[in-house]
Structure 1
Amino acid sequence: MTKNNRCFITEWTSGQKQMELLLYLDAHDHPIEIHPYDASSPSLIGNIYVARVDRVMPQIHAAFLKADDLTFFYPMEDTAMENIIFTGKNGKKDALVEGDELLVQVIRDAIKSKEICVSTNLSFSSAHLLLTTGNRLHGISKKISGERRKQIQSGFLDRVADENLGIVVRTNAMECDEDLLYAEYRMLQDSVSDLLSRAKHLVAGSLLSVSGQRHPFFEHIDRFQREGLTEIVTDDPVWYDRLKETDTEGIPVRLYADPAYSLKQLYGIEQMLTQALAQKVYLSSGGYLVIEPTEALTVIDVNSGNNTKKKKKDDYYLSNNMEAAKEIARQVRLRNISGIIVVDFINLKNKEQKDALTTYMKSLLKEDYVKANVVDFTRLDLMEITRAKKYQSLQQALSYCTQ
């Protein structure tokens, strides 16, 4: 079923800062995701550097690396030693030591007190493919199944059979012609070869630009296209031209140009941002959530509010918790909350209902584009959830942009 979702791109000014804003809305114009972008301080995700090992921390199986004034955290279980790409005279090694120089790719920006996180499994992507240097397995998106999956396996993957690179066929290759897949593969393969050739002559701290690097909004738009996006709207003529020159797979792009009533006013974008940062989120039943981010984790408290009907009945509690779970899953994605999330639901003493709530929350989190899992209920009856860290939370990103 088509979801009729839309995304908006507009400029946003807060204080002395001007930024770009990408909003992804459902068919009822409720925000699903909000992504601010400050061009003066862009994300480093995807950048590839020659980095030098500064400290090896065997007790946590990690290392800290340096690239000029940048410090990276590298989890050493990331890639097998034989697949790490060393530069200079390092060659193959059994273990990392201080002074080693190697290629790394940023996989997570600095978040709160956490350092920039890097991987030695370099990835190169196109519209339909992902090539990796460390993980050399060949695979197909789980969302491609049946006869099409067999065709890709027996046709494209068996045809390329590259033992030096991992290959993942992405979801939107479902309708892609095999010749186009092969052309993209050759293009990415050339990008890898070119980068590795240049890296041999570079010193630690060097940034290697990856051909085809795009504005981060396009990564999100690619994903929205697979989720039911039906229109892209912008009030910025520069973005309009950029989008028209890009393959949006038949999704119409519209330039909003009404001088009497701005795009921000028409859709209440300021109110959306205010609500997306609010501590309290109200539920239709009369209950509400209290969302408290801390340095270590995010705590979400579920309250029944002024709705006191049938308050002693377990089915009432379950109904309220189910409503809260749906809103929590939405808020986690909207605010881009990551790390450990602890939810204090209205107390459920019935194990069957507690299991039903857990199953429901797991099903909701499966729709999230970032990997998220329900761990379990703790001994204090708090639901523990984990969500992968990649970008800054919405609160952090907007706070930074307004500084």
Structure 2
Amino acid sequence: MAHLYIDEGITQSRAAIFEKDEITELYIENHFDFNICGNIYKGRIENIAEGLNACFINIGESKNGIYHFISEEERNSLKRGQEILVQVIREPVGDKGPKLTRNISIPGKFIVLLPEDHSINVSKKINDINKRRRLKKISREIMGDNGMILRTEAQYEDEETIKDEYEYLNELWKGISKGFLYKKSPCILFNLRNFYEFVLREYAKNNVDEIVINKEEDLIKIESILAAQGSDSKKISFQDNSFKEMDGVYNLIKNSLNKTVKLPSGGFLIIEKTEALIAIDVNTGNFVGNENKEETVFKNNLEACEIIYKEIKLRNLSGIIIIDFIDMEDEKNKQAIFEKMVQLSRKDIMSTHIYGFTKLGLLEMSRAKKGKDIISLTGCSDAFSMDSICYNLKNVENHCIKEMKRFNARQFEVFMQEELIRIINEKFKFFIDKMKEIYNIDIYLVKDKAENNYLIKRK
């Protein structure tokens, strides 16, 4: 079994699934720039882009969203200034605003509600035909005006639990519909990304039997969310003074910022992100094996598959991914590698497609985008970016908590460049206030010309 570790912070929050002391899933959220994918808005059409067969919609975020018409009839029915109900299906990227849809879906833990749709669908990850039939039978018996998708976790639940969630999601939809009638556009009607609700819904799966949290005062809130989600039987405990999970997440993030990943047998991967795609190169390193060359290469590639997919998930890599495995001459070996990657993709909560090998011997795959990748969330390429400051202040927070519990220290000096102090005082003053309010810890920012930012000393 596994346990879910939740570390809600002041500038950044983190959650991780631990299986046998190894992190298998990781979620990070910065508190200045929240993930808006899945949010539902009452928007207003700002203009029609004839050449794109689309319109731009003001949803109240920093960039207008884009909605592509699905028919000529729809195009003719929508006018500039018209209010419209939309949902974000893709995050803003660079200068591009969020991508929008009018096909609303509201996810629960066991089902996804499809308002004003009468279809019933079952997750493709449920292969057992008897389980699929049982879930469809339950769905037909409980379905009202709205359709649904039965998620993978539904196979472990009884009819009453699924019915309760269906009714709960229907009430959410009624609230959204009412908000559309009475609220002024542009405005948000449904925020999918409440940190605790999102993490408990998407990560507290059937294989998780314990939840470890870092704030005792959040116990009642978590119990309430779990009860609403039908998962109130899970054990909840508090992080002890060993800080094993906290340190494990920190070390994983730090390692994920490296391009090079070592393989157990001596080979290594090189992972590089470009504007167009993610490139992953597999190398044998000092792994030579005892068999012939083809067998050695195949074993190295097979071993690499597990590590590659683990890194893709933990780093939240998305879009087009090209993997340059070591050249194999035997087509059976190529097919085995392809099948292994397909097998691994079936365990991924994100929509993933493995397309196969190109004529140049490169494996092509794609993975749906949800949120930022780990490099973007840490802002490692720009020390003055908001992401970088969120990440580093979270590390300051955790460091001070550990020092407080071990040595009862309550005052800390944090050394950094003058420009960073200016930005923090201007945009992150709340961090210093919250450290005092939550932990009774005083933080003093000290100007330092050295580039070793965020050096922390007990005062």
Structure 1 counterpart of 2:5, one-letter code: F
Structure 1 counterpart of 2:329, one-letter code: K
CA-CA distance at 1:321 after TM superposition: 0.6
User: 1:303 maps to which residue?
Assistant: 283
Q: Which residue of 188, 195, 201 maps to 1:207?
A: 188
Q: Output the CA distance in 2 between the equivalents of 1:127 and 1:309.
A: 46
Q: Output the CA distance in 2 between the equivalents of 1:245 and 1:369.
A: 25
Q: Output the CA distance in 2 between the equivalents of 1:102 and 1:81.
A: 17
User: 1:401 maps to which residue?
Assistant: 387
Structure 2 counterpart of 1:173, one-letter code: A
CA-CA distance at 1:305 after TM superposition: 0.8
Q: Output the CA distance in 2 between the equivalents of 1:235 and 1:357.
A: 41
User: 1:191 maps to which residue?
Assistant: 172
What CA deviation, in whole Å up to 9, does each residue of 1:354-402 have, x standing for no partner? 1121111111111111011111222322111100111111211222532
CA-CA distance at 1:315 after TM superposition: 1.1
Conserved in 2, the CA contact under 8 Å of 1:144 and 1:171?
no
Conserved in 1, the CA contact under 8 Å of 2:11 and 2:32?
no
TM-score, L = length of structure 2: 0.73
SS in 2 for 1:70: coil
1:71 aligns with 2:27: no
| 1:250-289 correspondence to structure 2 within 5 Å | 250-258=233-241, 261-263=242-244, 267-289=247-269
Comparing 320-329 and 344-353, the one that deviates more: 344-353
Q: Output the CA distance in 1 between the equivalents of 2:222 and 2:69.
A: 39
1:51 aligns with 2:47: no
- Percentage of pairs with the same residue: 25
Q: Which residue of 341, 356, 360 maps to 1:376?
A: 356
| 1:351-362 correspondence to structure 2 within 5 Å | 351-362=331-342
Indicate how the Cα distance of structure 1 residues 345 and 61 shifts in structure 2: closer, same or farther if over 3 A, else same: farther
Conserved in 1, the CA contact under 8 Å of 2:63 and 2:97?
no
Conserved in 2, the CA contact under 8 Å of 1:235 and 1:263?
no
- By relative contact order (CA 8 Å, sep 6+), the higher-ranking structure is 1
User: 1:20 maps to which residue?
Assistant: 13
Conserved in 2, the CA contact under 8 Å of 1:120 and 1:134?
no
| 1:11-160 correspondence to structure 2 within 5 Å | 11=8, 18-27=11-20, 29-57=21-49, 60-68=52-60, 69-77=62-70, 94=76, 96-133=78-115, 135-142=117-124, 143=126, 145-147=128-130, 149-160=132-143
User: 2:3 maps to which residue?
Assistant: 6
What CA deviation, in whole Å up to 9, does each residue of 1:113-142 have, x standing for no partner? 542222211122334332223654222334
CA RMSD of aligned residues (A): 2.9
CA-CA distance at 1:151 after TM superposition: 4.2
CA-CA distance at 1:340 after TM superposition: 0.5
Conserved in 1, the CA contact under 8 Å of 2:153 and 2:206?
no
CA-CA distance at 1:179 after TM superposition: 4.3
Conserved in 1, the CA contact under 8 Å of 2:2 and 2:19?
yes
User: 1:390 maps to which residue?
Assistant: 370
Structure 2 counterpart of 1:109, one-letter code: E
Indicate how the Cα distance of structure 1 residues 389 and 95 shifts in structure 2: closer, same or farther if over 3 A, else same: farther
Structure 2 counterpart of 1:126, one-letter code: G
TM-score, L = length of structure 1: 0.82
SS in 2 for 1:367: coil
Indicate how the Cα distance of structure 1 residues 60 and 365 shifts in structure 2: closer, same or farther if over 3 A, else same: farther
User: 2:326 maps to which residue?
Assistant: 346
User: 1:329 maps to which residue?
Assistant: 309
SS in 2 for 1:402: helix
Q: Output the CA distance in 1 between the equivalents of 2:287 and 2:143.
A: 62
Q: Output the CA distance in 2 between the equivalents of 1:179 and 1:285.
A: 49
Name the count of aligned residue pairs.
Answer: 377
CA-CA distance at 1:183 after TM superposition: 4.2
Q: Output the CA distance in 2 between the equivalents of 1:364 and 1:311.
A: 26
SS in 2 for 1:342: strand
Structure 1 counterpart of 2:108, one-letter code: S
Q: Output the CA distance in 2 between the equivalents of 1:311 and 1:264.
A: 40
Unaligned runs of 5+ in 1: 83-91
Q: Output the CA distance in 2 between the equivalents of 1:186 and 1:81.
A: 35
User: 2:195 maps to which residue?
Assistant: 216
User: 1:232 maps to which residue?
Assistant: 211
Structure 2 counterpart of 1:291, one-letter code: I
Comparing 319-328 and 219-228, the one that deviates more: 219-228
